[in-house]
Chains A and B, each alone.
Chain A
Amino acid sequence: MLRNKNFQIGLLAFIVIAVQLMITFTGKTPYLTQLTMTGYYSMVIIGLTLLMGYTGQISLGHAGFFAIGGYTSALLTTFNMLPYRSKPLISLLENVGVLTLRKDLYEMDILTVTPWAACIAAVILSVLIAWIIGRPVLKLKGHYLAMATLGFGTIIYKIVLATTFLGAADGLSDIPGFSLFPGLEVSGKSSIRIENYYIAWGLVIVSMILLTNLIHSRVGRALRSIHAAEDASNAMGVNTAQYKLKIFILSAALASLGGVFLTHFNGGIGPSEASIMKSVRYVAIVAIGGMANLWGALFMGVLLNFLSLRGYLGSFDDAVFGAILIIIMLFAPDGLLNKDLFTGIWFKLKRLAWKKVNTE
């Protein structure tokens, strides 16, 4: 029953509801804020699991896509276009409803892009960048691929850190709430904490449904064949380059969607979201979750991100993820929540017991 994907999704939904009820019952509502943020980070992690675990391509630049999504949406919803209102293009956009008039922090009127349009633009932009970057990058293998994606992530980080209109080291703030439809808004107001928790986890559940269906389809089998033996699967007629690129783009889109929503939820975004440590953290979580194991990665991601956001890891935050990465790669390169590892340990124990019996 545990292997049934409908059952798994149902279980996830049940846990999400149970956790909310438990937290509301015990009155520890601030936990919901961190769980909401964790949900958005989980979007990156499940996308990356698909890329790393199922196609076997490492990406050390996924925080870059997260930041592209977040920053694009943040910039579009805070950039004031009021001075250009008379320009035909701007007035056309305003009449169509892409632009909206709102008040900023100082109660001044500003003309900005509506969050919906900004969200769509952000995802399209990151898909575009993933497509441009992905074609040459995915031809590389091994540490060349690791270094190229790391380089891409670093470029995004440096640009975000050094560009004045992206707020440089301070980042962007005063980002309006994202009204999904009237009455349901993504924002950090404490009065709508529970709604936001469900928005975040609803998004995760929808993505999980899509991804599990993808994995259990023809495409999923093709992806696993790429991971197992790329040349062989190419010879069998699988267009490996095309599949790798598509999955790269899909995971980039998921990451940027997470970035957009988290930015609107927090009301701001800073350059730390684009830092290399964030990318390494995502890779560490996917590795500890079991590489080709969406549920494992989701579980470990929630656990570790929640601990980190609550501040339980203290000043050892980054060191913890570095240590995880090393330990996993040394002792369990196929991931921790991995069936083979447990059966392997089981067999070793059995053999030890057998030896003991024989020597006695």
Chain B
Amino acid sequence: MRPVDASSLYLINGMGIETFFQYIIAGITYGTIYAIVAIGFNIIYNATGIINFAQGEFVMLGAMTAVTLNEYMPLPAAIICAVIITMAVGALIETLFIRWLKNPAVLRLTIITIGLSILIRETALHIWGAGVRSLPYFTGTAVTTISIGDVLVSPQILWVIGVSGIMVLILSFFFNYTLAGKQMRACASNSNAARLCGINAKNMVSLSFILSAGIGALAGCVVCPITYVQYDSGTSLAIKGFTVAILGGLGNSTSAIAAGMILGIMESFSIWIMPTAYKDVIAITLLLLILFVRPSGLFGNAETSRLKEF
């Protein structure tokens, strides 16, 4: 009794090369989003060793705030304000819940972030309600397409890929060439030694929260026109982002991008063999398999995963 829709019938009968690329494009789009969420995970993980389960909520919060602000101001301003507000929320969370704890166990911090994600979600439910919201397309409308060869692509997909690409470039510049970025890497590899060199490790943790909140919010704004946003859309993004982070090796952001693409494309082709409703199961099954077989990730071995590089 599997529900069969028209598109999958067409696929069973024979798939043209355009359809194949169409699926690849869809996979890359979603993969990019997952990779950005995973990078958010990695930044905080590298600075603190915590898995921030509220990372998906940052994405939701950014998109929701932008949708609300867009009613009062032009789109670019709304997005910038939403990113700043989400960064403030990230800073607030860090100061209120993480900063003052002395030598807490990692699991304890992880449970705290689970609680935080619930609180943020429920607050969003009370502020915005359970309805589905969306931002307008950045350029063109929902039906505008650009054809690359025979493949039709929505301009928003180009926005997603472009903004994510620029974000990754800026991040790698930040971590490799700026003082603050170098300090964060120093804290990540050995926070005691970094403190002895005069780096304020606590501020670096704050910075990591602010940075990952900002990245999440920006990603949320860019994908919002395609994926829509709802008060609980952060949770599944967090699970997928975590899957990607583990798949690429926790803490390694370059391989997170590759892992994101793998998961995105796998999901997009999964519609082939099973109903769409089970799409999420793919990611989680992959996560479990990776955790059981190779917790250090596809691209790392146990030793290199300990050398935390961004």
Contacts and interface: CB of A to CB of B under 8 A. Distances in A.
Interface of A: 58, 60, 136-137, 139-140, 142-144, 146-148, 150-152, 154-155, 158-159, 161-162, 164-165, 276-277, 280, 283-284, 287, 315-316, 318-319, 321-326, 329-330, 333
Closest 7 pairs between A and B when the two form their complex, measured CB to CB: A322-B118, A162-B277, A325-B115, A326-B115, A319-B122, A136-B292, A143-B51
A159 B111 contact: no
Contacts of B281: 155, 158-159
Interface string B262-297: 000000000000010110110011011001100100
B4 interface: no
Interface stretch (B102-110, B190-198, B220-228): B102-110
B115 A322 contact: yes
A316 B277 CA distance: 29
A325 B239 contact: no
A162 B281 CA distance: 10
A155 B277 CA distance: 12
Interface string B12-51: 0000000000000000000000000000000000000011
B112 interface: yes
A154 B236 CA distance: 9
Contact of B291 (A148, A322, A330): A148
Given A142-B107, A326-B112, A329-B108, A158 B278 contact: yes
Nearest to A159: B281
**B-side interface size class:** 35 or more
B58 interface: no
Interface in B91-117: 97, 101, 104-112, 114-117
B108 A325 contact: no
Contact of A151 (B3, B104, B239): B239
A287 B108 CA distance: 11
A154 B288 CA distance: 11
A268 B275 CA distance: 26
A143 B107 contact: yes
Nearest to B105: A333
Given A58-B107, A140-B291, A155 B284 contact: yes
Nearest to B122: A319
A60 B104 CA distance: 20
B235 A326 contact: no
| Interface residues of chain B: helix, strand, loop or mixed (majority) | helix
A154 B278 CA distance: 11
Contacts of A324: 115
Contacts of B137: none
A329 B112 contact: yes
Contacts of A319: 118-119, 122-123
14 contacts: A136-B288, A143-B110, A147-B51, A147-B287, A148-B292, A151-B288, A155-B281, A277-B118, A280-B114, A318-B122, A322-B119, A323-B115, A326-B116, A330-B101
A148 B112 contact: no
A153 to B, nearest CB: 9
A326 B291 contact: no
A155 B278 CA distance: 9
Contact of A333 (B97, B108, B123, B246): B108
B209 interface: no
B1 interface: yes
A151 B125 CA distance: 24
Given A155-B284, A316-B122, A147 B115 contact: no
Given A151-B288, A155-B284, 4 more contacts: A143-B51, A148-B292, A155-B285, A326-B119
B118 A151 contact: no
B258 to A, nearest CB: 20
Nearest to A153: B284
Nearest to B3: A164
A118 to B, nearest CB: 22
Contacts of A151: 239, 284, 287-288, 291
A276 B110 contact: no
Contacts of A280: 114, 118
Contacts of A323: 115, 119
